[in-house]
Structure 1
C-alpha cells in the first residue's frame, strides 16, 4: 500500500507482501470484508454440517451392512450345521468331504467366498477329525483376539472389523463373523465368514465426493450472491462517501442523487438537507468574516488619524512636562504612556486580525538567531536592569541560520523577554539558542515565581493573566504571547512553555531551518536541564550572571558560538 492509502495490486512476485496487502484490503474494503466474512462463516457452517452428515451416513451405512452380514452369517451357520448333521460318515476322508460340502453351503448362503474352519483346541485327539480349511485372504485377516473370544463362548456369534489384502496389495475394509459348528464323531469346529465391504466404502466415498462438490458449488454460489447484494448496497454507500469527501474538501455545491424511497434515499435526502444548511451557514459566516475584517480595517484607519494627532500633541506636552505643575506633569506622563500603549494595542489587534483572516504572508530570509537574540537582549537590557534582572545569551553552536521572517521572530523574542522581565522577580534570565540539521530552537528561561499547570495551559490565551489583580508594569497589551504563538505556527514551528511554581518558567521556540520542512524534534530540552537537579553548566552560568561582579554580555555568548563553530 502506498503512503497515500492507495491499494497496490497483488502480484505473484511480491508474495512476501501478500499478508500486509491482504490486511490492508480487509481493513479498507467493506465489500471485500463482507464477502470474506460471509464465505468464511458459511464455509464453517457447511463444514460442520457436512462432517455431521458424513459421519451419520457412514455410521448408518455400516450398521445396515453389519446387520445384513450378521443375518447372513446366522443363516450360513445354520445351513452348514444342517449339512454336518445329515452326514453319517465316520472315516477321515468322508468327514473331510462333508466339511467341504458344509463350507460350500455356508459360502453360498452367506454370499461370500471367504469361509474358514478351524478345529477348536482343548479337545481329545481324534484320528478321523478333518483338517482346517480356509482361504489365505481370510486366514490372514482373522485375529487371535477374535479366535479367543469365539473359543471362550461356544454357541455365540462375534464379529470384528478388519482389512482384507487384495491380490494387487491394496487393502479394503471388511468384517469377519465367527461362530462354531459341531461335526459328529470329530468334535467342535470354529466357523469364520469374511465379508468384503468395498462396495459400501465406494458408496460412501462417492457420497462424500458429491457432498464436497456440492459444498464448493454452494460456496461459489453464496460468494456470487453476496458479491451482487453487497455491490447493490455498497455502491450507494460509496457514493455517499465520495460525496462527503468532496463536500469536506470544499465543494459545497455537491449533492447526492436521490433514487427510490428506501433507507438510502432517506439518507441522501438528509445529507442534502444538511449540506444545504451548512452551505448557507458557511456563506453567512464568510460574509460576516468579510464584514468584520472590513470593519477592523476601517476602524484602524479611522483611529490612526486621531491617534496620530493625539500622539503628536501628547509628545509636545510630554517634552514640556517639566514646565507644568507636578499634578499636570504627572497627567502628561500618564497621557504619553497610555497613548503609546493604545498605539501598541491597536497594532497588535490589527496583527491578530490578520491571523484570524488568514492573510499573513512571510518574508523569509536566512537569519542567524544568535545575532537576532543578541540584538533583542541588548535592546531590552536597560529595562531588565531597571527590574534587577541580568540577561545572558548562551549559544552552544551548530547550524544556526534558518529561513524565517526576521521581523516576526524578533517580535517573538521581544515578547518572551518582556514576559520574563515582567515575571522574573529580578532574577537572572538566560536566553539559549541551539540547532541541528533540521531545526533551530530558542529558549527564554527565568527563575521567577513560575506558574501552575492550569495557568501554563492558558498562558497563550488572548488577554489572559494568571493574576488579574497584578498590574502590567512594562506596558504589555495581553496579546503578545498569543501573537507569538501564531508567528511560530505560521513558520511551521512550535512555541511551548514549561513552568513550575517557585522554579520559574521556560518558553521554547522551535523552527525549521528550511521553509516548508516539518519539525520532528527540538535541539533544546523542555523541561530545561536545571528543572530537576541543577545542571553544573547552568548552575555556573546562573552564578555568573547573578554575582556582584561584572555581568557577561551577549557578545560573550556570540563569541563562544563562533568559537564552537570553528
Structure 2
C-alpha cells in the first residue's frame, strides 16, 4: 500500500511531539494576550469596557428573554384555555341534548362531539376522550386518541382532572417530532356522557410557534448585543486613541529630550486639558533647556579652568620638585628641624604632583582626547607587578594580599599602563579600608572576557556610599584621616579607563563585611562581553548582600 505524501510526512513526526506542540499553542496564545494586556493601555481599557458592557448586556438580555418568554407562554396558555373551555362547553351541550341510548348511537354522538371540538379548538394538535377512572357503565363509549395524545398523559394530570375542583387543568409536555421535540401543552377537563358517567377530554396544543417566536427574539437580542459590543469596542478604541495619542507624543518628546534633543516640544492645539498639559510640558522643557545650557556652559568653563590651571601649574611644580629634591637629597647636612621640613616638603610635592596628574587625566577625558595603546597583556603578571608595588604599604597596615588565578593565565588586548593604574588604585583602597585583614585578588577568564576582583574584609560601605563611590572628589569618610592620601579622583579615573576599554568596573559592599571591586575587560577590543568570569557579589559574601553597582 502506498502512503500519500502528506500522510507519509506526518507519520515521521512522533505523536508526542505533535501533542506537545498542540498543548503549547494555547499557552503561547494566552501568554501573548496577557503580554498585550500588561503592555498596552488601549488594550486594557477596551478589554475592561467590553467586559463590563458584555456583563451588562448579558444581564439585560437574560432579563428581557425571560420576561418575553414568560409573556409569550402565558398569552398562549390563556388562548388555549379559553379555546379549550369553549370546546368543552360545546361537547357537554351535545352530550346533554342527545337521546342516544345504545352503543351505536353513542358512537355516532362521539364522532359528532369530536368533530365539534375540532371545529372550535382549531389550533389543537390532538384530542383524547377516555373514561374517568372508576366509572361503571353497561356498555362503554370507546376511548379515542388522535396523534398519540393519550401517550403523553401523565398520571399526575389524570389524577388532578379526576379529583380536582377546577374545571380545567393543564401541563407542559414534549411532543415527539422529526429532528427536535416540540414544546406542547395538554388541557384536561371532564364531561358527563348520558348513561355512561364521567369522561375526560384532553386537548393537545403544539407550542412550536411560540418557541420560534422566542428563538427569534433571543437571536435578535444576541445579534444586537454582539453588534452593540463591537460598536462599543470600536468607539472605545477611537476615544482611547484620541486620548493616548497626545500621551505617546509626550512620551516620545520626553525620550528625545532625555537623549539630548533639547529643542523638541509637544504641539499645542486647542484649549482643552491636553493642550494645557502640552503648554505646561513645553514650559518645563524650556526651563530645563535654559538650565542645562547654563550648566553646560559652567561645566565647560570649569573644565577649561581645570585644564588651564593644571597646565599652568606644571612648570612651577617642576621647578619646585627639582628644588625640593635637592633639599631632600641633602637633608643629612641640615639640622633636625630643617631636615624634617625638607622631608615634609618632598612628601607634599609628591602628593601635589599626583593630584595635578589626576587633574590632567580628567581634563583629557573631558576633552575626549584620551586614547589607549592596545597590546597583548597577561593580567596575572600585571597583577603580580601591582601587588609588588604595594607590599610595603600592606605590611605597614598588617594586611596580607593573596593572588588567586584559577583560569586567568590568558592574554587580552588592553592598555597595560591604564589597567595597572586601576589595579594599583583598587589595591590601595583595599589596604587603606581593609582594617589590616586579608585581601584577596582573584583573576579568571571566559570565552569573551577576563576579570580581576579585589576583595577586602574591612569596614565596607552603605548602599548610598556604594552608589557614589565613582563620583569625582567624593570620599566615604572625608573627616577621617587617611595615610595614603587620596584626592577622590582615583576611582573616577579608573571607571573612565575601564569604559575606554569597553569594560565594566563594578562594586559590591556592605557595612562591616568589606567590599569587592571587579574589573571586567573584553579579550578582544571588538568582542562584546557576554558575562563576567567572576561573580559579584563574591562567593564568600554573607547572605542577603546589597546589590552590586
Measured against the shorter chain, the TM-score band is 0.7 to 0.9
Deviation at 1:361, TM superposition (A): 4.2
Aligned to 1:188: 198
Contact persistence 1:492–1:517 (CA under 8 A) = no
Contact persistence 1:439–1:523 (CA under 8 A) = no
User: In structure 2, how many angstroms separate the alpha carbons of the residues matched to 1:465 and 1:235?
Assistant: 47
Contact persistence 2:450–2:522 (CA under 8 A) = yes
Aligned to 1:286: 296
| Residue among 301, 316, 328 paired with 2:311 | 301
**Bigger mean CA deviation after superposition, 183-192 or 435-444:** 435-444
Aligned to 2:155: 144
User: In structure 2, how many angstroms separate the alpha carbons of the residues matched to 1:104 and 1:427?
Assistant: 119
- Map 1:33-112 → 2, pairs under 5 A: 33-111=44-122, 112=124
Deviation at 1:483, TM superposition (A): 3.4
- Map 1:14-29 → 2, pairs under 5 A: 18-29=29-40
Contact persistence 1:70–1:177 (CA under 8 A) = yes
User: In structure 2, how many angstroms separate the alpha carbons of the residues matched to 1:211 and 1:100?
Assistant: 47
| Residue among 319, 322, 345 paired with 1:312 | 322
- Residue by residue over 1:73-100, the C-alpha shift from the partner in whole angstroms, topping out at 9 and shown as x without a partner, is 2222222111111112221111222222
Contact persistence 2:129–2:143 (CA under 8 A) = yes
| Residue among 494, 498, 505 paired with 1:484 | 494
Contact persistence 2:190–2:199 (CA under 8 A) = yes
Contact persistence 2:453–2:534 (CA under 8 A) = no
Contact persistence 2:132–2:199 (CA under 8 A) = yes
User: In structure 2, how many angstroms separate the alpha carbons of the residues matched to 1:451 and 1:425?
Assistant: 10
Residues 60 and 337 from structure 1, CA distance in 2 versus in 1: closer, same or farther, beyond 3 angstroms? same
Deviation at 1:115, TM superposition (A): 1.6
Instruction: Identify unmatched segments of 5+ residues in structure 2.
Output: 1-23, 544-549
Residues paired across the two proteins, number: 514
- Residue by residue over 1:421-469, the C-alpha shift from the partner in whole angstroms, topping out at 9 and shown as x without a partner, is 445566654433222223323233456x544657974665645254834
1:179 partner SS: strand
Correspondence 1:116 to 2:128: yes
**Bigger mean CA deviation after superposition, 168-177 or 216-225:** 216-225
**Bigger mean CA deviation after superposition, 328-337 or 48-57:** 48-57
Deviation at 1:418, TM superposition (A): 2.3
Residues 238 and 505 from structure 1, CA distance in 2 versus in 1: closer, same or farther, beyond 3 angstroms? closer
- CA-based RMSD of the aligned residues comes to 3.1
User: In structure 1, how many angstroms separate the alpha carbons of the residues matched to 2:342 and 2:115?
Assistant: 144
Correspondence 1:248 to 2:258: yes
User: In structure 1, how many angstroms separate the alpha carbons of the residues matched to 2:518 and 2:268?
Assistant: 54
Aligned to 2:215: 205
TM-score calculated relative to the size of structure 2: 0.84
Contact persistence 2:405–2:442 (CA under 8 A) = yes
Instruction: Identify unmatched segments of 5+ residues in structure 1.
Output: 1-13, 533-566
- Map 1:36-435 → 2, pairs under 5 A: 36-111=47-122, 112=124, 114-124=126-136, 126-153=137-164, 156-166=167-177, 168=178, 170-352=180-362, 354=364, 360-387=370-397, 389-398=399-408, 400-423=410-433, 429-435=439-445
Deviation at 1:21, TM superposition (A): 4.1
2:475 partner SS: coil
Deviation at 1:192, TM superposition (A): 0.5
Contact persistence 1:369–1:402 (CA under 8 A) = yes
User: In structure 2, how many angstroms separate the alpha carbons of the residues matched to 1:227 and 1:459?
Assistant: 49
**Bigger mean CA deviation after superposition, 248-257 or 482-491:** 482-491
User: In structure 2, how many angstroms separate the alpha carbons of the residues matched to 1:460 and 1:241?
Assistant: 31
TM-score calculated relative to the size of structure 1: 0.81
**Bigger mean CA deviation after superposition, 146-155 or 356-365:** 356-365
Residues 19 and 152 from structure 1, CA distance in 2 versus in 1: closer, same or farther, beyond 3 angstroms? same
Deviation at 1:524, TM superposition (A): 5.3
User: In structure 1, how many angstroms separate the alpha carbons of the residues matched to 2:343 and 2:81?
Assistant: 127
Residues 216 and 455 from structure 1, CA distance in 2 versus in 1: closer, same or farther, beyond 3 angstroms? closer
User: In structure 1, how many angstroms separate the alpha carbons of the residues matched to 2:212 and 2:179?
Assistant: 18
User: In structure 1, how many angstroms separate the alpha carbons of the residues matched to 2:542 and 2:213?
Assistant: 85
